[in-house]
Amino acid sequence: MSIKSQTGRTENLPVNGEVLARFVGKTAVITGASDQGIGGAVAERLAREGASVVLLSRSEPKRLVKRLHRMERGVLFVECDVTRSRDVQRSVEKAVAQFGQLDVLVNNAGVECARPFESFTDDQWQGLLEVNLHGAIRLCRAVLPHIPASGGAIVNVASALALGGCPSFSIYSAGKAGLIGLTQSLAWELAPRKIRVLAIAPALVATPMTMKHMQHLTPEVRKQLEAIHPLGVGMPHDVAGAVAFLASEDAAWITGATLPLGWAPHYALPVAHFMTPVEEAVPPASASAKPR
């Protein structure tokens, strides 16, 4: 049984049927792009609005790449492990060689591992931070020299758990909170260069990474989860719409902000039931990132 989206939302396009063109002539780099997750939805949304897209991930999302090619946009996939500086630098160099400049960076690559704080090994907690926080730092450092003088945007995918917290997600929450701190400080530093830095903090989004938990929940717990999502559990295209707005000129006077998505300020997760022992093995700090 799946968690329902109460509004029955579909992908939000203009009511007059016209497709927005906010990213024509721009290139966007998206990490952790996959066929079904948030990264893939962001890539499709930006491409639909005219962007050329650079997909960085451990493995090629072949179905996503085919869909993007059908839009007749520039598409480049580069195999990349965000925990390795050489991989990141090489990937950015390939993107610049093909498209010339980079206008938008979406730091989406992430992994999660849920367990009591004292149960984490050093490799496990360091591995989480290497992907979720240090990976974004590496990408920012590599991409910034190639953002044009006219400006650009960086959008970091954080989490409601960075603001609300949740038992057994201590390290994940810490990494995502660090991402919000990076967003706020970097926004000040880059404002003179007309580069905006923003973050989003989504609540529960139906992706392959989260659904491994959902299949173990009782009907009672599902109802509790639905109750704390006043607009229903999110879909990847819900997140993609928010990213597209923040990265576009429509948000030209917004920087340093973190936009909560789909949740109320008090994110009271029913943790006692939610945290069934369904764990994803987190490889050592040198491991690669999983697309979300």
CA distance 219 to 222: 5
Candidates 23, 99, 172, 274; catalytic one: 172
CA distance 61 to 56: 10
3-state secondary structure of 65: helix
Place of tokens 């970091």: 156
Q: How far is CA 41 from CA 75, 142, 161, 282, in A?
A: 14, 23, 21, 25
- To the query of whether residue 267 is one of the catalytic residues in this protein, the response is no
Task: Mark out the alpha helices in 191-289 (DSSP H runs).
Answer: 208-214, 219-227, 236-247, 271-274
Tokens of residue 148, six digits = 């044009």
3-state secondary structure of 111: coil
Helix (H) or strand (E) holding 93: helix 85-99
- Residues involved in catalysis: 172
